[in-house]
């Protein structure tokens, strides 16, 4: 059977047949015969509840080989094969893709509602000002395992409404080993990566790596460049251990944005915002340790992060452009104690309790850039938010025979001050608290087969930017100004889920069904004509919407053939709907002027009703692939993904045409010999033309005069890559320090 196990609460190891972890049936190679692992974040054993811990849940584990198959630029490339996960691209850059899980988003776009939490070795990576995730700053090249929780993450803190992703980084093992990788391909793509790792006679493991990545981009003026350095060092033992981690990353990306539909059809490589750029810089350091105390174990993590973002956005010809700078500095901690015991021969109990918290300082400067009018930059917003949060939590498992009962709860308190540095009289404070419980049960019904069910709640507090533009009586002309508006209510989600899993040494089958009800989802609503602020390019403010809902089914199957061939198939149905009435902001609500200077052929209201579908959430996702071994040295593989129709952002009322469904296929071939691997990969093999994002805007360059049009982001052109990998020293397989039981 598959040797995978999960600690549901405290260091209690449970056989797979009695366990609730569901391995997603993604690609291939490492899906079988895995060593026992704890589905935890980070360096084992880290403190705090981790992805997959606490209750029965659907958890996907991707090994390093799965992640590296197509040379992913960012995390969104790596998880796109997982059932229920889709990606879309509203910024027009492969480095800025958004992830959707069960109708919730994780995105680098400031201002989008963030419903998926992302961690690096257990440290939260959602940025504080808008909970966005800068995927291009994550050290993807140094990841040995990706753990994905699909569904409610009650015990993982804010934003884990639709799931959580944790990146587990590489560590050294055995004699000194050097790994080198170089790749190049279409559109000026070039990449280099190197790492050195080892284990000293005294038991200290170490890993040092770095990478450089650049490409010109397939669309006009869409270059990207990023580089990073990464370090892991520590000593992990059976009784105690300590580990240090640090990384630095820098990324500059020129996104192309979406195109008017008329241009999308004829010139998809065009760029109408050629001066846009996003320049990011980040540093993070952490210390993690653990020690056996009595019959249990105490663990702690302390980390510090620093992040800077500089963004420039080109606006319509008649509006000033936007220049913004944000600075974030965070210090956080997690500490817990876990204990387990056998009450009798057929009854095991585990308990775990701890405390999680952080202190963050956010500063945002926004300037209106009038250089194109012969003017200069003028400061419109300068705000500071010294926010902090604290969260005690407790988890428990009770196992009797084939049945494991799980329960846990987490209480989050978040305080978000808003300090206006231009007008100190406009300061305000928002405070949020929430107790999120979760319970579940898993039952081993036969060798290799188990079923599970769970119920839980989760929440997210409004982001600084959402709270700063939430007052209809005091409009803030986005994107130029943020104000001291009354706090919004936190978003609350309740999820009920049931699933099954069956696994043998060569075959795996799993599935789950879920229903998530959400209260107080946050959306942008339009101002009335009499309240619309002058100079606004986005004339709306954030409000709480009473109810939304997500329901769905996820199924997966995988088979490994005796000769080493493998195949997988995943399917997900997701239905995300509004369950209350509201008016949602949309450019298509623009009413034609009396002189007809702007033509709008679309309905001018975007009033949603119960049953209307949320945008950019495909109903159907079907993914499959296979890898074939040809002799000892050669392999060939292919993957394909079908994405169903999606409604455009700005058409929450579902009154216009949705985005067309599409299929994308990728292929790869490689040769492995001695310590070398040479492979080639092609994405979008059949050069399909499709849109991965859609919204509405005014096309000032329309030959018949300014008009409201559908704006679409084209899917990436076919791209070829050649990858060469080699290693020196160490063992041929390399590897990483095993988690310590």
Which pLDDT tens digit goes with each residue over 584-639?
A: 988 887 776 544 578 888 887 899 999 999 999 999 999 999 999 999 899 999 99
> In this predicted structure, what is the pLDDT of residue 478?
53
Q: 676-697: string of b/e by CB count within 10 Å (b at 16+)?
A: ebebebbbbbeeeebbbbbbbb
The contacts of residue 214 (CB under 8 Å, 6+ apart) are: 188, 189, 190, 191, 223, 224, 225, 226
> What average pLDDT does range 159-188 have in this prediction?
93
pLDDT at position 26 over 80? no
pLDDT band, residue 551 (cuts 50/70/90): very high
pLDDT band, residue 53 (cuts 50/70/90): very low
> In this predicted structure, what is the pLDDT of residue 739?
45
> In this predicted structure, what is the pLDDT of residue 32?
30
Name which of 132-141, 290-299, 585-594, 702-711 the model is least confident about: 585-594
Nearest 10 degrees: CA dihedral of 350, 355, 356, 358? -170
> In this predicted structure, what is the pLDDT of residue 741?
38
> In this predicted structure, what is the pLDDT of residue 538?
59
> What average pLDDT does range 47-70 have in this prediction?
68
> In this predicted structure, what is the pLDDT of residue 440?
92
Is domain 16-729 classified as CATH 2.40.10.120?
Answer: no
Give the whole-number percent of the chain exceeding pLDDT 90: 58
> In this predicted structure, what is the pLDDT of residue 10?
26
Name which of 87-101, 520-534, 553-567, 624-638 the model is least confident about: 520-534
pLDDT at position 319 over 60? yes
Instruction: Specify the residue for token string 């690096």.
Output: 120
Beta strands 117-120 and 163-169, pairing class: parallel
Nearest to 361 by CA among 385, 395, 342: 385
pLDDT band, residue 67 (cuts 50/70/90): confident
Q: Cα–Cα distances in Å, from 611 out to 347, 589, 607?
A: 46, 21, 12
Mean pLDDT of the chain: 85
Give the whole-number percent of the chain exceeding pLDDT 70: 85
Q: Which of 67-71, 143-147, 425-429, 623-627 has the highest mean pLDDT?
A: 623-627
pLDDT band, residue 6 (cuts 50/70/90): very low
How far is 436 from 393, CA to CA, in rounded Å?
Answer: 9
The full set of domain ranges for the chain reads 16-729
pLDDT at position 373 over 70? no
**Residue with the larger pLDDT of the pair 244 and 707:** 244
pLDDT at position 43 over 60? no
């Amino acid at each position: 059977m598959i040797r995978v196990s999960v600690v549901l609460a405290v260091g209690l190891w449970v056989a797979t047949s009695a366990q609730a972890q569901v391995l997603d049936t993604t690609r291939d190679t490492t899906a079988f015969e895995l060593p026992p692992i704890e589905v935890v974040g980070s360096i084992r054993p880290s403190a705090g509840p981790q992805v997959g811990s606490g209750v029965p849940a659907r958890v996907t584990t991707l090994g390093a080989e799965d992640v590296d198959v197509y040379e992913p630029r960012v995390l969104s490339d790596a998880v796109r094969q997982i059932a229920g996960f889709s990606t879309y691209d509203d910024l027009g850059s492969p480095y800025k893709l958004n992830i959707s899980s069960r109708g919730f988003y994780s995105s680098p776009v400031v201002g989008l509602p963030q419903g998926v939490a992302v961690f690096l070795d257990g440290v939260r990576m959602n940025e504080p000002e808008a909970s966005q995730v800068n995927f291009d700053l994550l050290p993807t090249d140094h990841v040995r395992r990706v753990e994905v929780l699909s569904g409610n993450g009650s015990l993982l803190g804010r934003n884990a409404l639709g799931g959580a992703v944790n990146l587990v980084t590489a560590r050294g093992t055995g004699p000194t080993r050097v790994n080198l990788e170089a790749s190049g391909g279409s559109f000026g793509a070039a990449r280099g990566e190197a790492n050195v790792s080892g284990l000293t006679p005294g038991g200290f493991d170490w890993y040092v790596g770095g990478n450089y990545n650049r490409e010109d981009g397939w669309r006009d003026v869409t270059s990207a460049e990023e580089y990073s350095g990464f370090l892991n060092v520590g000593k992990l033992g059976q009784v105690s251990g300590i580990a240090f981690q640090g990384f630095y990353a820098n990324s500059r990306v020129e996104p192309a944005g979406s195109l008017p539909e008329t241009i999308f059809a004829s010139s998809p490589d065009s760029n109408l915002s050629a001066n846009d750029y996003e320049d990011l810089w980040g540093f993070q350091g952490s210390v993690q340790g653990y020690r056996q105390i009595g019959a249990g174990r105490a663990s702690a993590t302390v980390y510090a992060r620093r992040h800077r973002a500089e963004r420039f956005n080109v606006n319509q010809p008649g509006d000033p452009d936007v220049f913004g700078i944000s600075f974030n500095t965070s210090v956080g901690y997690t500490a817990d104690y876990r204990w387990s015991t056998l009450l009798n021969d057929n009854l095991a109990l585990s308990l775990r309790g701890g405390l999680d918290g952080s202190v963050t300082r956010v500063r945002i400067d926004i300037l209106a850039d009038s250089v194109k009018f012969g003017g200069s930059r003028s400061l419109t917003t300068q705000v500071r938010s010294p926010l902090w949060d604290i969260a005690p939590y407790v988890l428990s498992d009770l196992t009797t025979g084939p049945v494991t009962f799980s329960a846990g709860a987490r209480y989050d308190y978040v305080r978000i001050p808003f300090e206006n540095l231009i007008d100190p009289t406009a300061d305000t404070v928002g405070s949020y608290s929430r107790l999120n419980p979760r319970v579940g049960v898993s039952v081993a019904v036969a060798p290799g087969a188990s079923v599970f069910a769970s119920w839980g709640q989760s929440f997210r507090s409004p982001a600084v930017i959402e709270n700063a533009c939430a007052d209809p009586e005091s409009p803030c002309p986005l994107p130029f100004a943020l104000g001291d508006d009354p706090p919004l209510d936190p978003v609350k989600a309740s999820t009920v889920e049931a699933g099954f899993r069956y696994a043998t040494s060569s075959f795996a089958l799993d599935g789950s069904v879920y229903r998530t009800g959400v209260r107080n989802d946050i959306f942008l609503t339009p101002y009335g004509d009499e309240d619309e602020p002058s100079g606004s390019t986005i004339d709306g403010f954030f409000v709480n919407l009473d109810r939304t809902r997500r329901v769905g089914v996820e199924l997966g199957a995988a088979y490994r053939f005796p000769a080493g061939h493998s195949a997988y198939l995943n399917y997900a149905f997701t239905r995300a709907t509004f369950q209350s009435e509201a008016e949602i902001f949309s450019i298509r609500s623009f009413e034609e002027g009396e002189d007809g200077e702007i033509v709008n052929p679309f309905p001018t209201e975007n009033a949603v009703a119960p049953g209307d579908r949320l945008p950019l959430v495909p109903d159907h996702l079907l993914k499959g692939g296979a890898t074939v071994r040809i002799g000892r040295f050669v392999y060939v593989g292919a993957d394909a993904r079908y994405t169903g129709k999606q409604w455009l952002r700005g058409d929450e009322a579902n009154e216009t045409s949705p985005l067309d469904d599409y299929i994308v296929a990728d292929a790869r071939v490689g040769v492995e010999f001695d310590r070398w691997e040479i492979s080639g990969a092609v994405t979008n093999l059949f050069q399909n033309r499709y849109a991965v994002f859609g919204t509405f805007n005014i096309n000032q360059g329309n030959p018949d005069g300014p008009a409201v049009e559908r704006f679409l982001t084209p899917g990436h052109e076919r791209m070829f890559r050649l990858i060469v990998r080699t290693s020196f020293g160490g063992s041929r397989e390399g590897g990483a320090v095993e988690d310590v039981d």
